[in-house]
A and B are shown apart, each in its own frame.
Chain A
Amino acid sequence: MKAKAEMDGIGGGGHAVGQPIKQRELDSHVKGQTLYYEDVKVPRMLHLKIHRSPVAHARILNIDTSKAEQSDGVVAVLTYRDVPATKVWSHFEAIGAAPGAEPILAVDKIRWKGEPIAAVAAETLSQAEDAAAKIKVTYEKLPSVFDVDEALAPGAPELFDCWPGNHYVFPDDHKAAQIRFGDVEKGFAEADHLVEHVYRTRPIEQAPIETAGCVAVPGSDGRYTIYTNSQALSTTRNSAAEIAGLPVARLRLVGGTAGGGFGGKVDMAIEPMALLAAMKSKRPVKYRFTREDEMTVSSTRAAWRVSIKDGVMRDGRITARHVITHQDIGAYLRNSIYGAFKHASHMPGPYTVPNVWADVYCVFTNRTPSAAMRGFGVMPASFAIEMQMDRVAKAIHMDPWQFRLKNAFRNGDMKAHRREVWDAALVETIQAAARLTAKDLPEEYRQMSSAKRPLSAPRIAGG
């Protein structure tokens, strides 16, 4: 046991908690000896360049790849015709994101500026770039929408026939991830004040120093190996195999070392494309985002619009919290519903509120599709909630620290998604922060504890 723990870099006794654990690759990192996917050199490797849409919303009338096919060094040119089976990203169906609607390569419609249309595999990257630039696509441009207000306006251009009004519809026919707990209308009726505000966040690129990339290598035994810096190795294997129409057993992924990710390497944007090109060219194919690709066409964190309405008593107790969130997910769903669920489950924040109502929508716009980034969906929730907490405190002329301490959840409280709190620590955390910043709290607040509630009644609301 001890030997194994030491091997894992864990201190004696096999206990990791409270022990400094040396990161496995630290020694090789500092010597520049860690092998990243790009350090694996494969002979006869081709380079992939994608021809992308210069327009945000259009119908494709024609794709002409003839000049690219004759260009120097080109070995394979792929369009949607080279994508077998469903032709769409379908792997997110595993988390309920159905039906898959994002083509691997565009078929008849463009929904965002940068959407991939054709792929060129050539002997050098320059040759692939030159050839990709020679692909001619004819478009019939369509009006586009770039934020949720535009997308939800009556008569707005729609991205999908199957999702009218640009609202994604969850497989259970709900348009939103929902929280229903208590009766917010009753809570508002009881409240001394109502405080309402809208909070917005903007998209952010994860910007790892190592851009997303992979090398797909055909093996002599009919199997394929992909060296990748993916953050989601096993889901990527399953989905790449499915898209390529390969049995999973014929695909091997090698990874685990990424030069940063932050969610930007979760949504397997590159491996299936490299695999398809390797299958068509029968050569190893490298597909790597340039820094520009990373900044302009890779998934970003979404733009979120969070509308919060709170009912609050003069003494600072929140009686009800009503939230409507619109996640601007961009042109395709990817794993955005996961973010919507996480956002919804974070409501109403680390506070005990007896009446909670939340609807979290995924809205399509003609922006770059969004995906995970550090605390997927939670960051905009926390941002909006904490801004709102300050706003409400100000409205009732209460110190924002005291206001938070008063409402912070305690062990035994029931959360809005019907899990009892058993490991609360917010009260103690705020108290510690107050001590560190010399914030003066009244004795009553210094004595508070997550273990018990100082106010008269326990705050376990029915729902």
Chain B
Amino acid sequence: MAEYLLPDTLAEAGEMMAAHGRSLAIMAGGTSAMRCGTCRGRRGRGIACIECAGPRLVSVPNSAYVMGIQRLGLDRLEADNGVLNIGAGVTMRNLAASDMPAALCQAARRVGGPALRNMATVGGNIFARQPYGTVAAMLLAMDAVPVFTGPDGSREVALAEFYTSGAIAAGLLTHIECPHPQGRLVFVKCARQRFAGPTVITVAVRIELETGGKVAAARIALGGAGETPLRAEAAEQLLIGEKLEAPAIEAAAAAAKAACAPADDPVASAWYRRRMVGVYVARALEQAGEGEAP
């Protein structure tokens, strides 16, 4: 039995978090947390679902308190002064329908079916177990920065660093800030169904080309290819100074494939995921090469 808390202000939320510490689980849309919370595999059956497969700082089923964030005004979606500001409570539906960069909207639209997109949030997606975290992979390629609010004020951590340092929340995630992306953005997802297909892997890339068509900056982010969304940095490096043509694309795809560490789960085997990383990184880079600059 957990108690459901519904704070009206950030200050109130902060007090609740301070008072209850790790016995409090934060719930945004609930699509991940409720699934974990109602999972009947938790009681010593030894069968782990995707939600449980990995360390979770707060165990939802065993939490004494569950805190909803829907009254905290975290559903803002703004672009000003060259910075995108995406509230943690923005739903996938609202993100998909927004005037944010097209690839980010596409990523949101590839999450679940319509009912799930009405519930699932950007903030939840940052913490989602792999292979979920489709939008997080796109944000990673966009150099996004999650902003947390804690007792000592707000704290910003680059998403890349957040994931490489264990994905530990520094307070309540209020929003994600993101420089207006330069260059070309591409999002591709490998799934077994066209609509609402669970993720095998996702690939998000951002490519800046200099005049002459050589790559000046590259971001390649992978979803479903490790314990968290991750950057394929070796692959990014291989592209710098190269034209987005077959040899460079193949080399980058091979490097991404070699560096990823996907898991086996009921959706796909690690073996298949790794192969798909190679295929989809190449596809995403080809599309980036063909695309128009935004």
Q: Do A and B bind each other?
A: yes
Task: State whether the Cβ of A458 lies closer than 8 Å to any Cβ in chain B.
Answer: no
Chain A residues bordering chain B, tally (CB within 8 A): 10
A296 to chain B, nearest CB (A): 6
A292 interfacial contact with B, CB 8 Å: yes
User: B44 — nearest CB in chain A belongs to which residue?
Assistant: A133
Instruction: Decide if B43 touches A130 in the complex (CB within 8 Å).
Output: yes
In the complex, chain B residues whose CB is within 8 Å of the CB of A130: 43
Q: Is B47 an interface residue (CB 8 A)?
A: yes
A125 to B40, CA, bound (A): 10
Residues of the B chain whose Cβ atoms lie less than 8 Å from the Cβ of A132: 43
Does A290 lie within 8 Å of B40, measured CB to CB? yes
Asked if B55 is at the interface (CB within 8 A of a chain A CB), the reply is: no
Closest to A130 in B: B43
Across the two chains, which residue of chain B brings its CB closest to A293? B40
Is B212 positioned at the interface, with any CB of A under 8 Å from its CB?
Answer: no
Tell me which residues across on chain A come within 8 A of B43, comparing CB atoms.
129-130, 132-133
Q: Please give me the residue from chain B that is nearest to A131 by CB atom.
A: B43
Write the chain B residue with the least CB distance to A296: B47
**Is the beta-carbon distance between B40 and A54 smaller than 8 angstroms?**
no
**Which residues of A lie under 8 Å from residue B46 when comparing CB positions?**
54
Contact B40 A292 (CB under 8 A): yes
A52 to B49, CA, bound (A): 17
Residue of A nearest to B46 (CB): A54
Q: Does B21 have its Cβ within 8 Å of any Cβ on chain A? A: no
B47 and A129 form a contact (CB under 8 A):
no
**CA A290 to CA B46, docked complex, whole Å:** 15
Min CB gap B56→A, angstroms: 18
Please name all residues of chain A whose beta carbon is closer than 8 Å to the beta carbon of B54 when the two chains form the complex: none
A290 to B, closest residue via Cβ: B40
Which residue of the partner chain B has the closest CB to A129? B43
Does B41 have its Cβ within 8 Å of any Cβ on chain A? yes
| Minimum C-beta distance from B248 to chain A (A) | 40
Q: How far is the CB of B138 from chain A (nearest CB, A)?
A: 30
Contacts of B47 in A (CB 8 A): 292, 296
Contacting B at CB under 8 A, from A84-134, are: 125, 129-130, 132-133
Q: Measured between alpha carbons, how far is A133 from B40 in the docked complex, in Å?
A: 11
Could you tell me the distance in whole angstroms from the C-beta of B265 to the nearest C-beta in chain A? 13
Contacts of A52 in B (CB 8 A): 45
Distance from A263 Cβ to chain B, minimum over Cβ atoms (Å) = 21
- Residues in A with CB closer than 8 Å to B44 are 133
Cα-based distance from A52 to B44 in the complex (angstroms): 10
B278 CB to closest chain A CB (Å) equals: 26
Residues of A within 8 A of B40 (CB): 125, 129, 290, 292
Using a CB-CB cutoff of 8 Å, which residues 182-218 of chain B contact chain A? none
Give the complex CA separation of A54 and B46 in angstroms. Answer: 7
The closest CB in chain B to the CB of A128 belongs to B43
- Residues 21-58 of B contacting A (Cβ, < 8 Å): 40-41, 43-47, 49
Cα of A54 to Cα of B44 in the assembled complex, Å = 10
Chain A 44-76: CB-based contact to B (< 8 A → 1; otherwise 0)? 000000001010000000000000000000000
Complex: A52 Cα to B41 Cα, angstroms: 12
CB distance from B196 to the nearest CB of A (A): 15
Q: Give the chain A neighbours of B41 by CB distance below 8 A.
A: 292
- In angstroms, how far is the closest chain B Cβ from the Cβ of A120? 11
The residue of chain B having its C-beta at the shortest distance from the C-beta of A134 within the complex is B44
Q: Complex formed: what's the CA distance from A289 to B134 in Å?
A: 31
Which residues B146-169 have CB closer than 8 A to chain A? Answer: none
**Taking CB as reference atom, which chain A residue is nearest B42?**
A129
Q: A125 to B38, alpha carbons, bound, how many Å? A: 12
On chain B, the residues within 8 Å of A290 by CB distance are 40
Q: Which of B45, B46, B47 has the most chain A CB atoms closer than 10 A to its own CB?
A: B45
Q: How far, in angstroms, from A52 to B43 measured CA to CA in the complex?
A: 12
Question: What is the bound-complex CA distance between A153 and B15, given in angstroms?
Answer: 65
User: 8 Å CB contacts to A: which residues of B223-268?
Assistant: none
Closest residue of A by beta carbon distance from B39 = A292
Chain B residues positioned under 8 Å from A129 (CB to CB): 40, 43
When chains A and B are docked, how far (Å) is the Cα of A130 from the Cα of B43?
A: 6
* Nearest B residue (CB) for A291: B40
In the complex, A292→B41 CA distance in Å? 8
CA distance A129 to B49 in the complex (A): 17
- Interface positions, chain A 177-224, Cβ under 8 Å from B, are none
Closest chain B CB from A402 CB (angstroms) = 35
Residue on A nearest B41 in the bound complex, by CB? A292
Task: Specify which of B41, B46, B47 lies most central, judged by the most chain A CB atoms within 10 Å of its CB.
Answer: B47
A-B contact pairs, 17 of them (CB 8 A): A52-B45, A54-B46, A125-B40, A129-B40, A129-B43, A130-B43, A132-B43, A133-B43, A133-B44, A133-B45, A290-B40, A292-B40, A292-B41, A292-B45, A292-B47, A292-B49, A296-B47
Knowing that A129-B40, A290-B40, A292-B47 are A-B contacts, what are 10 other residue pairs whose CB atoms are under 8 Å apart, sorted by A's residue number?
A52-B45, A54-B46, A129-B43, A132-B43, A133-B44, A133-B45, A292-B40, A292-B41, A292-B45, A296-B47
Which residues from chain A sit less than 8 Å from chain B, CB to CB? 52, 54, 125, 129-130, 132-133, 290, 292, 296
Q: Across the A-B interface, give the 5 residue pairs with the lowest CB-CB distance, nearest first.
A: A133-B44, A129-B43, A133-B43, A290-B40, A54-B46
